[in-house]
Chains A and B, each alone.
Chain A
Amino acid sequence: MDVKNPKSPSPKKGILRTRKSKRMAFALAILLPFAIWMLVYMLIPLASVIFYSFTDAKMGYDRQNFVGLYQFQKMFSNATAMISIKNSLKAALVIVPVSLLLSMLTALGLDALSERSSKVYTFAVFLPNIISLTAACLVWRWIYHGQYGVLNFLLNLMGIPSQQFLKSQAQAMYSLCAIHIWSVFGYYAIILLAAIRSIDKSLYEAASLDGASYWTQFFHVTLPMLKNTLLFVGIMLTTSAFMFFTPVQLLTNGTPGTSTYVMLFYIYQQGIEQGNTGFSSAMSLVLMLIILFFSLIQWILTTEREPKPRKKTAVKKEAEAA
């Protein structure tokens, strides 16, 4: 006699049996196109960069030999390469904090505006993102021009003598950084604005009733609530600062002297123009590690640590004493 409930389904075989595996299959199906894209455009290039770094590959030669760390040795003993690393670090040190500050202030400003005017300004701030950077650089060349530039015209109006923005060793790098900052800050301002707008308004109301001033509210409510967004923006800015390239190529070509040689420019020269695939791959790898390093630092700095429980405090001690 069959004692089992005849209606109960016999356990089916197969991979899609449980709910969990079904969900997995769904996730895989959704991610498959992305996975293929990632394979073709990210993993394969990455793997080949790593591979070529340890070879003497040159463009136009189809054979390469494994040379160990030779390319890295060559790089660290090459003065121009070292200068380009230094210049990239300098550029990042200017671009990241200044853009971050500028984006943040712009976002706060936009947030304070009324809804209608905020829309207009938001568009204005976003504009650099939809202008081709190549075209913009041509305009900037004119703005920075030593004789006829708008900037010098304005400086002269204020009684300051004309400057050689792009032709002075001291200023060229900062002038180029300014272009880069101009081209990116609006985008991040809008990301920050969206994050600011999503903060629960009652937090500010509670804080203002508790007597917190605008800046107290900014440091105790806005900033902590934006932590994740700021981390994202910081990492994106770091990456973009090290990828800083177009203005260099279009406006200075690394000059005056080597003062605007940045890593990506040097990699481009070595890899694309001179065909030193092995050398430029090694340098790309170093660039990637530098970006990774700075991103990690930011990540560690902003990661939440568990609050430590406080030691016994006044009231409890009193209670124990009594």
Chain B
Amino acid sequence: MSTVTLKNIKKVYPKSHNDNKHNLKETAEGVLAVDDFNLEIKDNEFIVLVGPSGCGKSTTLRMVAGLEEITGGELYIDDVLMNEVAPKDRDISMVFQNYALYPHMTVRQNMEFPLKVQKKKKEYIDKKVEEAAEILGITEYLDRKPKALSGGQKQRVAIGRAIVREPKVLLMDEPLSNLDAKLRNQMRAEILKLRKRIHTTFIYVTHDQTEAMTLGDRIVIMKDGVVQQIGTPQEVFDNPHNLFVAGFIGTPQMNFYDGRLLEDNGKYTVEIQGMKVALGKEKNERLKANGVVSQDVTVGVRPEHIVLAEGDNVIRSVVDVSEMMGSEVHLHVTANGQESIIIVPTNVIRGRSVMDSGAEVDFSFPEEVVHLFSKETQNNLEY
């Protein structure tokens, strides 16, 4: 029900002697866990923070919650500065990875707790708890203790406890990562349903890019405490702004090749292992606008955009292994020492021998699926 604004948010942890194994920047005061985080979250928006372990997702979330002090920058909820406001006065609730249910209370008592603390009327509490239990399908467990519940049920209770209060902002820190794959898919769908039913701003942390892509209205990709890109799932998938985002989003991973970008009179061509791809109008314009000159580049192409091809202007490769996935086949191939994955619809190669190890396949790709990254900055040359 609220907007959340993060302005130049920064977090410095005091240096500890025992761990030096992170990639974080160190300053005089300590380790820079989050640096210059800017984000405006709209009312009722579902934001996902995603990135590899240790990139500062939890730290950011905990700063929003008030569980971690903000070293620098400003945090606003509904345009009110929150930096110095105590967690209990922020009207935020949070779902923890380890559920954080009170073991000595029943499910009902757990869910009642936030309302009891607020000294709400008993009828109101009963109504809210039972509504939430209904939404989450845990009505029959209301009188059980948490230890008599499965992981998925515990997480539902934790979500229930977080929503009974109708908080302005609902924070979730890897809520599904303790669940097995099947349950995780199921709960992901439930969270999608939940968000249709309750009117709250969500901030959701995960290291799983599939979760991020399926749940988020917008996703924030972080690495080493620094935001790499913010955008809708479609945007970050189609237009990754740097090499890291390109490799992080999408499974199987994007293929990368060493290539050379050649500029000739405002027309760009990219050359990869002897194959020449002339870029189209759009790309030419964008590259030209950025003043890109001829240079060595990293070329990124998604496995599903590669096509098997014939002729001279192709990349020649040898199949290492192939994985039959049902409707499609993943071919792992090596071309001039560079590995790539090609996704081919099963019916295209039916009856052909390309699937066997050692088979030779030639492939190419259309110009519009090519991503060009600077060798120097690793940024996408088009943006």
Contacts and interface: CB of A to CB of B under 8 A. Distances in A.
B108 interface: yes
B37 interface: no
A216 B117 contact: yes
Contact of A209 (B93, B123, B134): B93
Contacts of B123: 314
A224 B104 CA distance: 7
B104 A314 contact: no
Interface string B263-299: 0000000000000000000000000000000000000
Interface in A172-216: 200, 202-203, 205-213, 216
Contacts of B323: none
B65 A209 contact: yes
A315 B92 contact: no
Nearest to B128: A315
A227 B100 contact: no
Nearest to B158: A206
A210 B87 CA distance: 8
Nearest to A308: B143
A98 interface: no
A315 B127 contact: yes
B125 to A, nearest CB: 10
Which of A224, A225, A314 has most B Cβ within 10 Å? Answer: A314
B9 to A, nearest CB: 19
A209 B66 CA distance: 8
A2 to B, nearest CB: 46
B87 A208 contact: yes
B98 A211 contact: no
Interface string A307-321: 111100111100000
Interface string A215-239: 0100011001101000000000000
Secondary structure at chain A's binding surface: helix, strand, loop or mixed? helix
B85 to A, nearest CB: 12
Nearest to B167: A209
Contact of B94 (A206, A224, A310): A206
Contacts of B134: 315
Which of B104, B123, B145 has most A Cβ within 10 Å? Answer: B104
A304 B96 CA distance: 27
A307 B106 contact: yes
Contact of A210 (B67, B108, B165): B165
Given A211-B114, A221-B102, A313 B130 contact: yes
B87 A209 contact: yes
B94 A205 contact: yes
A108 B272 CA distance: 66
A147 B134 CA distance: 74
A103 to B, nearest CB: 21
Contact of A227 (B67, B102, B104): B104
B104 A307 contact: no
B88 interface: yes
A220 B86 CA distance: 20
A216 B102 CA distance: 13
B356 interface: no
B113 A205 contact: no
Contacts of B186: none
A221 B126 CA distance: 22
Contacts of B65: 205, 209
Contacts of B88: 208-213
A210 B114 contact: yes
Contact of B100 (A200, A212, A309): A200
A202 B97 CA distance: 9
A315 B102 contact: no
B326 interface: no
Nearest to B97: A202
A316 B102 contact: no
Given A309-B143, A314-B127, A315-B126, A210 B93 contact: yes
Contacts of A205: 65, 67, 87, 94, 96, 100
Interface in B57-75: 65-67
Given A210-B88, A307-B106, A316-B130, A200 B94 contact: no
A208 B100 CA distance: 12
Contacts of B117: 207, 210-212, 216
B67 to A, nearest CB: 5
Contacts of A208: 67, 86-88
Interface of A: 200, 202-203, 205-213, 216, 220-221, 224-225, 227, 304, 307-310, 313-316
Interface of B: 65-67, 86-90, 92-94, 96, 98, 100, 102-106, 108, 113-114, 117-118, 123, 126-127, 130-131, 134, 142-143, 145, 161, 165
14 contacts: A200-B98, A200-B100, A202-B96, A207-B117, A208-B88, A209-B90, A210-B113, A210-B161, A309-B143, A310-B143, A314-B123, A314-B127, A314-B130, A315-B134
